Amino acid sequence: MTTPTSRTTSARRLHDPQARGFASDNYAGVHPEVLEAIALANGGHQVSYGADAYTEHLQDVFRGHFGGHATAYPVFNGTGANVVALQAVTERWQSVICAASAHIHVDECGAPEKMGGLKLLPVGAPLGTLTLDAIDTQAYGFDDQHRAQPGVVSITQSTELGTLYSVEEIAEIVEHAHTLGMAVHLDGARIANAAAALDRPLRDFTTDVGVDIVSFGGTKNGLMLGEAVVVLNPDAVRGMDYLRKSSMQLASKMRFLSAQFDALLSGDLWLRNARHANAMAQRLETAVRAIPGVQVLRPVQANAVFAVLPQDVTARLQKLYPFYVWDESTGEVRWMTSFDTTEADVDSFAAALRAELVAD
Amino acid sequence: MTTPTSRTTSARRLHDPQARGFASDNYAGVHPEVLEAIALANGGHQVSYGADAYTEHLQDVFRGHFGGHATAYPVFNGTGANVVALQAVTERWQSVICAASAHIHVDECGAPEKMGGLKLLPVGAPLGTLTLDAIDTQAYGFDDQHRAQPGVVSITQSTELGTLYSVEEIAEIVEHAHTLGMAVHLDGARIANAAAALDRPLRDFTTDVGVDIVSFGGTKNGLMLGEAVVVLNPDAVRGMDYLRKSSMQLASKMRFLSAQFDALLSGDLWLRNARHANAMAQRLETAVRAIPGVQVLRPVQANAVFAVLPQDVTARLQKLYPFYVWDESTGEVRWMTSFDTTEADVDSFAAALRAELVAD
Amino acid sequence: MTTPTSRTTSARRLHDPQARGFASDNYAGVHPEVLEAIALANGGHQVSYGADAYTEHLQDVFRGHFGGHATAYPVFNGTGANVVALQAVTERWQSVICAASAHIHVDECGAPEKMGGLKLLPVGAPLGTLTLDAIDTQAYGFDDQHRAQPGVVSITQSTELGTLYSVEEIAEIVEHAHTLGMAVHLDGARIANAAAALDRPLRDFTTDVGVDIVSFGGTKNGLMLGEAVVVLNPDAVRGMDYLRKSSMQLASKMRFLSAQFDALLSGDLWLRNARHANAMAQRLETAVRAIPGVQVLRPVQANAVFAVLPQDVTARLQKLYPFYVWDESTGEVRWMTSFDTTEADVDSFAAALRAELVAD
Amino acid sequence: MTTPTSRTTSARRLHDPQARGFASDNYAGVHPEVLEAIALANGGHQVSYGADAYTEHLQDVFRGHFGGHATAYPVFNGTGANVVALQAVTERWQSVICAASAHIHVDECGAPEKMGGLKLLPVGAPLGTLTLDAIDTQAYGFDDQHRAQPGVVSITQSTELGTLYSVEEIAEIVEHAHTLGMAVHLDGARIANAAAALDRPLRDFTTDVGVDIVSFGGTKNGLMLGEAVVVLNPDAVRGMDYLRKSSMQLASKMRFLSAQFDALLSGDLWLRNARHANAMAQRLETAVRAIPGVQVLRPVQANAVFAVLPQDVTARLQKLYPFYVWDESTGEVRWMTSFDTTEADVDSFAAALRAELVAD
């Protein structure tokens, strides 16, 4: 075997760094400040598996946002965060009440069931938000041995449908759940967008209203990758360290997850990114609502716009700007904005859409 | 809520980038070429969940190393790679024969059992390497409904004990396993160290001897994070895409995993890093073998040195250079070298050890 | 320790063998012919775990009912039968489409998810029967790695709501499922009641319309305990022996399960029992429909009658004849009949109900 | 569909009720007193799923044997009892220390791992009995997140190798386990044989030495089928009702399980049966030890005799009296005796063996 003699880097660019679309906030890359943080965390040795300086410091950062009892456990991705968090607040025989549109039910390939052994009890939620009545359709049968015991209510904030719970709505759900002996998990894959939209600190709609555990999203808000399970109510949670490891979510070089979160959360980057993405969604909504033939069906409260378009228009437009069809049967499409969406992106997209529909 | 006005980066350094030790190759950071590749992959939008240009290109890179039938599935960490790979080659009722020292048995908090539903059949392996005889202590009971059917033999190359299988030994194991209807999984968390030590291309001891599936390690060889399940024998494998997702190992911004692997594997970085780490282990072994009172118990074949030291010496030395005690009862310690270990690190560590033992 | 000297039997009766009610068909005991069969199967030694003469013979018995490709695997209970059967027709990453009222979703404490790792996709089914449209609300996303792949449609015949699928409806569901690459499982906890009600041989609405696998119910039709997973389409099924054992459903003294089924199925006992139970439900329906103030909400097609009563009437009546409230909110109650329900039971119950409502 | 007109019973005998052998105590049938109890429990309706008079009464019966804090949960079989019991004393991230010869490791097709998500840590136990030293080879790493936390020690009494723990040995194991924060599970598939051999009440080597939970075996001691999980230490156990149901071990017509146990345990039937089986094993041991060429390798302490025979002798003898080869490589065979083994069985078997070996 001959030793290669070249020592030039293999690092290369294979894509157009100017191309953007409205497909998903996870099509975006890494915010430059986050990348800089990764570079600064590099070099030398740091204890692996979370006993590093960055992860230690991160606890203060999260406590600044969520209060002094919060503990953050960085993990790799949102599915991992959710499955770890849900296991941590349930017994083996319990189940999870969630919206039928919840990511944990729809988009995790059965990970909660297959990896966590968790039964899901999906309930109807046309706007993506659970109501007390909807919860009550499944919150029964406590002490009935035939029934996987409802142990936790999982809500998503902002929701998979681009909508928001008000602080009061979450407070009501938590009170209701706690009264029935259930914990509350908040899937915060886009929690920053929610805080920005509500114009409220993170703890206002989590810690302070009694949410027990949060999947805190970083990836969709400018990280390279990284989510964190944030334990708000230690009394409701067991075994986090072991569950993170056995759920294959324990990073060896954890400093690089924690440094990203530090960049995002120590200052206002998380909020700047989220506000910008939300503002771009508002701009897009305003623009498309003014176009005849476009129907915006749901409130635009975070960084998603859902609209119904003629199918042929969708097909042609997708060639210019990637985005997803949400519902083949109705022609509803989803447009996501992200921290790197520009006003020009929105305006030119809206112009193209207008051209299509006027041309039609 | 007041908008923060500062917009300076929160990125910061919290550690000494010159501090190093011999605790683990995952105490090291990211190789600069890998970091550069991440930066180059940034900017603009790329399709998420693996349909990006970097992941597509990565297939060619892996095929260059493992042959034209290979397919690589980037995942987050080694436990994830192992659990996905083992599920992909087993039925629900099958079991895994492995060394009692295997990472999957010892260091994964039960993830194979808890997440994969996989029964492990650990067998004695004093040097970390399975023998045919050892395998046969568990390779029985085929067609016995009472027995979790042995479905796969899992070997680690290089092993958790710093030893190596020869190419011929792997070939024999594979032939034996296949004859019995079992697949072969290779846990390659340090596969590059093995290739470097054997001075053989990667495919020589994997594809070309019939290994079915590999957990390919990147993190311990200079990546920020990233492993890949590499399917070598598609006929033995089912459901990789779904298993990766349901096992919570599907990265949304996968381009950043793939770009790291591209930097590592397109050129010779993987081999340079591994050779260097191995050479440092050799240098360390040579140095410590010359010190009276140090017993090196196992062959040093990759990037680990195991030695027995007096307990008080260990305790004092750990304050200077972090490393782990491997076996409290015998006083055996483990020293790992990595891509960033320097000759000076080794020499000064050996000098400190010598001073301790002479001083004693 | 003193050896007890008495050698009299401890066998005793602790209940009133004349007391009956309408709570459930599993409140009933064992049909005398079944008990006789158990006694005849007793004595001497028989190979355990299914290699006995009774289990061997049982294959012929089941083939007589389900055709020459059928294989029956006796198990302990319905939940066990369902979890084994569903595992046998699915990959680890697949999911199960079922009615929201299905026993597997409502009454198995999450066993399919927790033990089988199976994601359930419950869909609305007001009468307990799935329609093609209802199935299609979840039969999508094939090849989408984010989605637990719909792998099997599970129907219950007769349903948990006492209704029936026609032979044609099952044929349509099977054809639809197979076209989409899904298997079909039939939960036949009350399959005999269905056959009796349809007045069709068992194979007409199972084997001959393409159902792949059946949970065949014995307990509710006069066995002491015992169900059987019946594999109708061997090509759709893998690993039955191992799945039965690993799912804790393999009886050691299996002859006593098989002998019960032999008594039930070799002659017409299964049909006599089912017809009788169905006839009693018809008699009850007729009687209560004639009582003012009783509303029978669903078609009475098997051995269940659902009716809405005033709450206080229900409470008083339950003291005379045990039965369950099905829906607290509506006042709906369920009356089940069984092989040992007598005409006098029905008549006196109806008389008591009439007295209540007239008295009211 | 023609209604069958014959109404004669299908109950029939398909085997020779005089044939017996030494293959397993589960080749035997049902003790007549147990069958009588089943018949007496029949007739009329009883509440299903455990709320019947027989199961209620059974609590007193078990408390008579195990003390006033004991609660018994009847289940179907031993694998079910073990998996339920082990789940009930562990968290999701814990593991089970057991002998390498334990039934849970060797003969349950991976049910503990696959159904319970339990990692097993098998340790060497040449006589089937765990020692403190053997336990300590795996009882480490408490608080290490990489390690499935040892949460329970599982011992089998009498063991799979026909040996016994003394009361003192169990007391020591319990004390050691409790000191380390681990619970103790006793797999009592043959617990009656152990009590008979020790000549001690059941509670002496369970409750009174601190065992937390027992799998109480009925099937091998004369029941048709039935085991019970007996909770001795309620503080160490959670969720029994739910775990039994979700583990598919909840019988609907539970009265018939409980009535069997009543017959077994209310009087001395359990002890008579066990003493008889043990005595037959002693008689067999005595007889075969006197035969030249037979090597009895392990102490015969319960109802199993292990011996080494020439292979051809084994083969010929198996045609006369079924029994199993335990270890193909050494020629070791296992002979089990049961409640229905007769002195004549033993004597004629020993005579046949003697004839073989003298003839040889």
pLDDT in tens, A322-350: 999 999 889 999 999 999 999 999 999 99
From the DSSP assignment, how many helices (H) and strands (E) are in chain B? Answer: 13, 11
Q: Please give the CATH number for the structural domain made up of D269-359.
A: 3.90.1150.10
Q: Across the interface, do A245 and D149 touch by the CB < 8 Å criterion?
A: no
The mean pLDDT value for B307-316 works out to 94
Which of the four pLDDT bands, split at 50, 70 and 90, describes residue D2? Answer: very low
For an interface test with A, the pick among B1, B6, B10, B46 (most A C-beta atoms closer than 10 Å) comes out as B10
What are the φ/ψ torsions at residue D33 (nearest 5 degrees)?
Answer: -65, -30
Give me the residue label for tokens 């007045």. C199
Q: Across the interface, do D114 and B114 touch by the CB < 8 Å criterion?
A: no
Q: Distance between CA B313 and CA D102 in Å, rounded?
A: 41
For an interface test with B, the pick among D96, D109, D133, D160 (most B C-beta atoms closer than 10 Å) comes out as D109
DSSP element (H, E) containing A192: helix A191-198
Whether residue B7 has pLDDT greater than 70: no
Which residues 231-260 of chain D have a CB within 8 Å of chain A? 238-239, 241-246, 250
Q: Which residue of A has its CA nearest to D241?
A: A145
CB nearest to A27's CB, from B8, B46, B322: B46
Measured CA to CA in angstroms, residue C339 lies from C30, D128, D146 at distances of 9, 49, 56
Q: Please tell us whether the domain made up of D32-265 is placed in CATH 3.40.190.10.
A: no
Q: What is the value of pTM for the model shown?
A: 0.97
Chain B residues near residue C93 by CB distance under 8 angstroms: 239, 242-243, 245-246
pLDDT in tens, D236-250: 999 999 999 999 999
| Weakest mean pLDDT among A346-360, C322-336, D34-48, D298-312 | A346-360
Chain B residues near residue A262 by CB distance under 8 angstroms: 10-12
Q: What pLDDT shows up at residue A8?
A: 61
Shortest CA distance to B353 belongs to which of B276, B289, B278, B277? B289
Which of the four pLDDT bands, split at 50, 70 and 90, describes residue A358? Answer: confident
Domain ranges of chain D: 32-265, 269-359
Q: Across the interface, do B107 and D148 touch by the CB < 8 Å criterion?
A: no
Q: Across the interface, do B145 and C242 touch by the CB < 8 Å criterion?
A: yes
Smallest CA–CA separation between A164 and chain C, in Å? 24
- Are the C-beta atoms of A63 and A230 separated by less than 8 Å? no
Residue C346 is encoded by which pair of tokens?
A: 């029905």
Smallest CA–CA separation between A291 and chain B, in Å? 26
Smallest CA–CA separation between D73 and chain C, in Å? 16
**ipTM computed for the complex:** 0.96
Give me the residue label for tokens 């004092």. B316
Chain D residues near residue C24 by CB distance under 8 angstroms: 48, 252
Which of the four pLDDT bands, split at 50, 70 and 90, describes residue D5? Answer: very low
For residue B2, the 8-state DSSP code is P
Q: Distance between CA B118 and CA C52 in Å, rounded?
A: 31
Q: What pLDDT shows up at residue A84?
A: 98
Q: Which residue of A has its CA nearest to B244?
A: A109
Q: Which residue of A has its CA nearest to D251?
A: A146
Chain C residues near residue B238 by CB distance under 8 angstroms: 91
Chain C residues near residue D267 by CB distance under 8 angstroms: 4, 6-10
Q: Is A342 in CB contact (< 8 Å) with chain B?
A: no
Chain D residues near residue B109 by CB distance under 8 angstroms: 93, 145-148
DSSP element (H, E) containing D74: strand D71-75
Report the DSSP pairing between strands D213-217 and D227-231: antiparallel
Q: Across the interface, do D145 and A93 touch by the CB < 8 Å criterion?
A: no
Whether residue A6 has pLDDT greater than 80: no
Q: Across the interface, do A113 and C145 touch by the CB < 8 Å criterion?
A: no
Q: Across the interface, do A246 and D92 touch by the CB < 8 Å criterion?
A: yes
Whether residue B358 has pLDDT greater than 90: no
Which of the four pLDDT bands, split at 50, 70 and 90, describes residue B11? Answer: confident
Q: C269-359: same fold as C32-265?
A: no
pLDDT tens per residue across all 360 residues of chain C: 444 444 566 778 999 999 999 999 999 999 999 999 999 999 999 999 999 999 999 999 999 999 999 999 999 999 999 999 999 999 999 999 999 999 999 999 999 999 999 999 999 999 999 999 999 999 999 999 999 999 999 999 999 999 999 999 999 999 999 999 999 999 999 999 999 999 999 999 999 999 999 999 999 999 999 999 999 999 999 999 999 999 999 999 999 999 999 999 999 999 999 999 999 999 999 999 999 999 998 999 999 999 999 999 999 999 999 999 999 889 999 999 999 999 999 999 999 999 999 854
Smallest CA–CA separation between C244 and chain A, in Å? 19
Chain A residues near residue B115 by CB distance under 8 angstroms: 115, 246-248
Across chain A, mean pLDDT equals 95
The mean pLDDT value for A58-84 works out to 98
Q: What pLDDT shows up at residue C95?
A: 98
Q: What pLDDT shows up at residue D358?
A: 84
Shortest CA distance to A75 belongs to which of A257, A203, A211? A257
For an interface test with D, the pick among A75, A93, A250 (most D C-beta atoms closer than 10 Å) comes out as A93
Q: What pLDDT shows up at residue A2?
A: 42
Which residues 82-101 of chain C have a CB within 8 Å of chain B? 87, 91-93
Neighbouring subunits of C (3+ Cβ pairs under 8 A): A, B, D
Q: Which residue of D has its CA nearest to A51?
A: D145
Q: Is D160 in CB contact (< 8 Å) with chain B?
A: no
Q: Is B2 in CB contact (< 8 Å) with chain A?
A: no
Q: Across the interface, do C122 and A122 touch by the CB < 8 Å criterion?
A: yes
pLDDT in tens, A249-281: 999 999 999 999 999 999 999 999 999 999 999
DSSP element (H, E) containing A243: helix A240-246
Q: What pLDDT shows up at residue A1?
A: 41
Contacts of A144 (CB under 8 A, 6+ apart): none
Smallest CA–CA separation between B203 and chain C, in Å? 29
CB nearest to B113's CB, from D107, D119, D147: D119
Whether residue D187 has pLDDT greater than 80: yes
Which of the four pLDDT bands, split at 50, 70 and 90, describes residue D35? Answer: very high
Q: Across the interface, do D92 and A93 touch by the CB < 8 Å criterion?
A: no
SS3 of residue D151 by DSSP: strand
Contacts of C217 (CB under 8 A, 6+ apart): C78, C81, C188, C189, C190, C191, C192, C227
Q: Across the interface, do A113 and C117 touch by the CB < 8 Å criterion?
A: yes
Q: Which residue of D has its CA nearest to C20?
A: D45
CB nearest to C148's CB, from A95, A109, A146: A109
